[in-house]
Amino acid sequence: MHETLWKLHFPEFIASNDKVIKQLMDAAIMVTLPARQQVFYPGKICDNYLLILSGSVKAQIMSTDGREILLYHVLAGDSCVLTTSCLLGNNNYPAEGYTETEVSAFAIPAHIFHRCLEQSTFFREFVFRNFSQRLADVIKRMESISFGSVEQKLAKALLASGEKTLHKTHNELALELGSAREVVSRHLKRFESYGWLSLSRGAISNINFDALHKISHFNDQS
């Protein structure tokens, strides 16, 4: 049953003392996926409710001009908001998901998910609480992509790490911001010319938090 993994990542399941939850844990299948593997795609049927144990999955959509737009990341201890939505609405996936690293997860078959949702108050509360939290994160992210200049969004993304050195490529930042790599590169080079950061292959260092903070809040102060 992989009780140790349940206890480590989802201790509330162990503590619930719910017979239905015990059946769910027994039915869960441990799966491991390699990095950069497609997990789902538009139109795919949702067969399992996934609870991530380790690694990271990114969910994204394609814009009309062919750009990838990141929706959210699913990390250890998380459930996927699109998976939950598809299971609850009996719909197919509307977006695509890829593993960013090797991923381990508990896969709970759809029929077990629905039975436990019907029979267990604990599981219903867990599912809807996580769904609500993840959905709020997605909405917040879409707002950040839709509003504000690329310059502001880039400054906020650089500040979000809290580190003086950020190990991300220009393409990864562009994906997060819903912008084009060339646009992000142009703004980063301008930031570098101002002395706000230093660019190297796969990394952005010497980030000036004070300067970027002022840029990220420019519209808020005007």
CA 7 centroid distance within chain: 23
With a cut of 80, say whether residue 178 has pLDDT above it.
no
Q: Which of 70-79, 115-124, 164-173, 179-188 has the highest mean pLDDT?
A: 115-124
Fold entry, domain 3-145: Jelly Rolls (2.60.120)
Q: Which helix (H) or strand (E) holds 156?
A: helix 150-160
Going from N- to C-terminal start, the domains of the chain cover: 3-145, 148-221
CA 66 centroid distance within chain: 20
- Least confident range from 83-92, 98-107, 207-216: namely 207-216
* Fold equal for 3-145 and 148-221: no
pTM for the structure as a whole: 0.65
Q: According to the model, what pLDDT value does residue 198 have?
A: 93
Nearest to 99 by CA among 151, 164, 55, 52: 55
Q: According to the model, what pLDDT value does residue 217 have?
A: 65
pLDDT band (50, 70, 90) for residue 163: confident
Rounded average pLDDT over 195-202: 91
Q: According to the model, what pLDDT value does residue 145 have?
A: 61
With a cut of 70, say whether residue 147 has pLDDT above it.
no
Close Cβ partners of 96 (under 8 Å, ≥ 6 residues apart):
38, 40, 41, 42, 59, 60, 61, 62
* Greater pLDDT, 163 or 57: 57
Q: According to the model, what pLDDT value does residue 107 have?
A: 96
With a cut of 50, say whether residue 222 has pLDDT above it.
no
Average pLDDT, the chain: 87
- Best CATH choice for the domain 148-221 from the list 3.40.50.170, 1.10.10.10, 3.90.1170.40, 3.20.10.10: 1.10.10.10
- Rounded to 5 degrees, φ, ψ at 157 are -65, -40
Q: According to the model, what pLDDT value does residue 219 have?
A: 44
